Amino acid sequence: MEHASGTHSIFNQTPPLTDYNLFASDTALQEAVRREGAGWATPELHEAGAELGACTLYEHARLANRVTPVLHNFNAQGERIDSIEFHPSWHALMRGIIGRGYHSSPWAPGETAPSGAHAARSGVHAARAAGYLMQAQIESGTLCPTTMTYGAIAAMRRDPALAREWVPRLLTREYDARDIRFEDKRGGLIGMGMTEKQGGSDVRANTTRAQRSTDGSYRLTGHKWFFSAPQCDAHLVLAQSGTGLSCFFMPRRLPDGTLNGIYIQRLKDKLGNRSNASSEVEFIDAWATLLGEEGRGIPTILEMGTFTRLDCCTGSAGMMRQAVVQSLHHAQHRKTFGSLLIEQPLMRSVLADLALESEAATALSLRLARAFDSELPGEIALRRALTSAAKFWVCKRGCELAAEAMEVLGGNGYTEELPLARMAREMPVNSIWEGSGNIMCLDVLRAFGRSNVTRDVVLHELSGARGNHPHYDAALERFAAGIDAGALNEAHARRFTQSFVTLMQAQLLMAGATGASSRAAAEAFCATRLGESGWGAVFGASDAQLDVNAILTRAWDRN
Ligand SMILES: Cc1cc2nc3c(=O)[nH]c(=O)nc-3n(C[C@H](O)[C@H](O)[C@H](O)COP(=O)(O)OP(=O)(O)OC[C@H]3O[C@@H](n4cnc5c(N)ncnc54)[C@H](O)[C@@H]3O)c2cc1C
């Protein structure tokens, strides 16, 4: 492509990557969807993939992050309004996500029974995860209220009043941004408030107090240091009440339409996730109702948190996929030293390694989502251990992958005109919020340490792939021996979690290795990730002999 300007011809610049189908061009995602019981969703995922690949959405994503939300505490008359003003592109993106149902689709009537039990249609969480993974390739700030609503519904359905009065309107696919009482709205969003100044991971340190009123409702006084999407119609919050830390349902507006006692102090000035408003708030006599048992606030809100942790993993997997696709597209167009980057052996090693990591993240996210589709004891045990493990590993790998992918694009990758710089800033937040890396690894230890069920379920799942690759067999033996020797200790929790996740990823890739290209990817993953010495400390540094051609062709099949 050559263009003339006043001073020079413009050539050897990569054309923009837009207007392609995110689903049709992603072989690994299509295979994972079928493997995890969501094949029935293929037509709607194709449709979503086409919509999401449109160039208008890339522009909305850029604008929503450039023109960031503004807090207005007061109106022209000096009355308190605590309202957030967003760029129209934010609203356009939100309309799309809600329209596709990623805030609630698995809970919709006809999809699942309470808590996901006896799914009327199997694979609903896996199908949603596939859509969410594509959505994450476009913009991530809007995922925050989306995932919080998805998770909150799981907890709210357990409360008969909320299940009756709130949940049905959360299931609609209408994005209603009006700041009015929920009773008059066509759809809604829910957030969560746990973190306080003195501690986020250790929420037992919360000082916000809840006072019971004579009618059984509560009044909360205190603060939250991080309170994302404060425009949501309600939040689940933690506060100390009579018998300990409890979970409360706190609407933004009271039934008479007036604002609840939630005062937004300011918005956070963040590295990334800039389209999304994250605030600091104070509660002064804020009205709320108890959700779950008094004193059992942590397990109640963690029911929500388990879903949002799944989405941290899936969201990072989505951004990884977009980073890989942008890298491959660039490498196919950019020439250096007389040939295309995609033809240069060292660049091919880097690209193949990135593609493997992305495919493994996709496979893992969808497998984890399937564990949410079932109430079989084995699946419950698996999701108990794998959710934290997958969140830890995929979100960490996503940070490294985004930085490497940015470099594939050279200087252009570092600029705001292309999405990779934004993604590199976006990746770390998935690792931090909803429980940061160490907290996730400590949770994995707890899951394995509590009973032998987790150990037995995980080893059973992993043993199915035995005999396919010598590195896999040896790594599985080391992993099993580590559990049996009681080697689970905090200092080595990251190492243990890494072994667990990479084995799970290898097992999934091998299970899906039914064709030549998927076999090449599975073989390469085992060769590079499971050797005793570990793989290269950076992408592209392995000395294993890989079928790079098959891996790259599989990774990017634009049609
Ligand atoms: C953009 C953004 C939006 C957010 N939105 C919300 C929101 O809407 N609602 C909400 O409730 N929270 C929100 N959070 C807060 C987030 O969940 C917390 O920041 C996070 O859980 C960590 O808590 P902390 O900041 O208090 O760090 P700390 O708890 O002080 O932890 C600091 C570090 O120490 C590590 N650590 C802690 N304990 C141990 C241990 N025992 N052993 C080893 N390492 C340990 C942690 O892994 C972490 O790396 C948001 C955060 C961000 C960045």
At 205-217, the pLDDT tens digits run: 999 999 999 999 9
Identify the bridge partners of residue 244 per DSSP, sorted by sequence position. Answer: 241
Question: What's the residue count for the chain?
Answer: 559
The DSSP bridge partners found for residue 212 are 218
pLDDT at 343: 97
Summarize pLDDT for 66-102 with one digit per residue, the tens. Answer: 999 999 999 999 999 999 999 999 999 999 999 999 9
Query: Going by C-beta distance under 8 Å and a sequence separation of 6 or more, which residues neighbour residue 167?
Result: 107, 153, 156, 157
* pLDDT mean over 431-455: 95
pTM of the complete model: 0.97
**According to the model, what pLDDT value does residue 543 have?**
85
The predicted-structure confidence for 108-126, as pLDDT tens digits, reads as follows: 987 654 444 444 578 999 9
Cβ–ligand 1 distance for 273 under 6 Å, the answer yes
* Measured distance CA(86)–CA(68) in Å, rounded: 7
7-60 pLDDT tens trace: 999 999 999 998 999 999 999 999 999 999 999 999 999 999 999 999 999 999
pLDDT score of 483: 87
User: Strand, coil or helix: what is 210?
Assistant: strand
Give the model's pLDDT for residue 115.
47
- With cut-offs at 50, 70 and 90, classify the pLDDT of residue 394: very high
CB 441 near ligand 1, within 6 Å: no
Q: Is 192 in the pocket of ligand 1 (CB under 6 A)?
A: yes
| Residue 141 CB less than 6 A away from ligand 1 | no
Q: DSSP character for 259?
A: B
Can you give the C-alpha Rg of the chain in angstroms? 24
Q: CA-based angle 451:452:457, to the nearest 5?
A: 120
Q: With pLDDT > 90 as the criterion, what percentage of the chain qualifies?
A: 91
Strand-strand pairing, 80-85 and 190-193: unpaired
Q: Whose CA is nearest to atom 30 of ligand 1?
A: 199
Cα–Cα distance measured from residue 144 to residue 136, given in angstroms and rounded to the nearest whole number? 11
What's the helix, strand, coil split of the chain in %, to 5?
55, 15, 35
**pLDDT > 70? residue 255:** yes
The string of DSSP codes covering 51-65 is HHTSHHHHHHHHHHH
Rounded (10°) angle between helices 419-432 and 55-66: 60
Distance 528 CA to ligand 1 centre (A): 32
Q: How many helices (H) and strands (E) does the chain have?
A: 18, 13
Residue type, 251: P
Q: Check if 145 has its Cβ closer than 6 Å to any atom of ligand 1.
A: no
What b/e readout covers 119-146, taking b as 16+ CB neighbours within 10 angstroms?
A: bebbbbbbbbbbbbbbbbbbbbbbbbbb
The answer to whether the CB of 433 is under 6 A from ligand 1 is yes
Rounded to an integer, the average pLDDT of 514-530 is: 95
Mutate to test the pocket of ligand 1, among 275, 309, 425, 436 (most ligand atoms within 8 A of CB): 436
pLDDT of residue 131: 98
How many Cα atoms sit within 13 Å of 393 on the Cβ side? 27
Q: Is the C-beta atom of 198 inside 6 A of ligand 1?
A: no
CA angle 373, 377, 378 (to 5 degrees): 80
What is the reported pLDDT for 537?
84
Report the pLDDT value the prediction gives residue 96, as an integer from 0 to 100. Answer: 98
483-503 pLDDT, tens digit each: 877 668 999 999 999 999 999
Mean pLDDT taken over the chain: 95
Give the separation between CA 133 and CA 153, rounded to whole angstroms: 20
For ligand 1, the distance from its centroid to the CA atom of residue 437, given in whole angstroms, is 9
Pairwise CA distance, residues 376 & 115, whole Å = 12
Q: Evaluate: CB of 195 within 6 angstroms of ligand 1.
A: yes
Per the CB < 8 A criterion, the answer to whether 334 and 12 are in contact is: yes
For residue 431, report the distance from its CA to the centre of ligand 1, in Å.
9
Nearest CA to ligand 1 atom 34: 438
Higher pLDDT, 530 or 6: 530
Type of residue at 82: D
270 three-class SS: coil
- How many angstroms separate the CA atoms of 40 and 158, rounded? 29
Choose one of 68, 300, 309, 433 to mutate for the ligand 1 pocket test, by most ligand atoms within 8 angstroms of C-beta.
433
Instruction: Please give the C-alpha separations between residue 491 and each of 172, 249, 494, 533, in angstroms, as whole numbers.
Output: 46, 37, 8, 20
pLDDT tens digits, one per residue of 328-379: 999 999 999 999 999 999 999 999 999 999 999 999 999 999 999 999 999 9
Q: What integer pLDDT is reported at residue 120 of this predicted model? A: 54
Rounded to the nearest angstrom, the distance between the alpha carbon of 392 and the centre of ligand 1 is 13
Tell whether the model's pLDDT for residue 1 goes beyond 70: no
**Distance, first Cα to last Cα, the chain:** 20
Enter the DSSP assignment of 236. Answer: E
> What is the 436 CA–ligand 1 centroid distance (Å)?
6
Residue 266: closest CA among 64, 72, 68? 72
Instruction: Read off the pLDDT band of 415 (50, 70, 90).
Output: very high
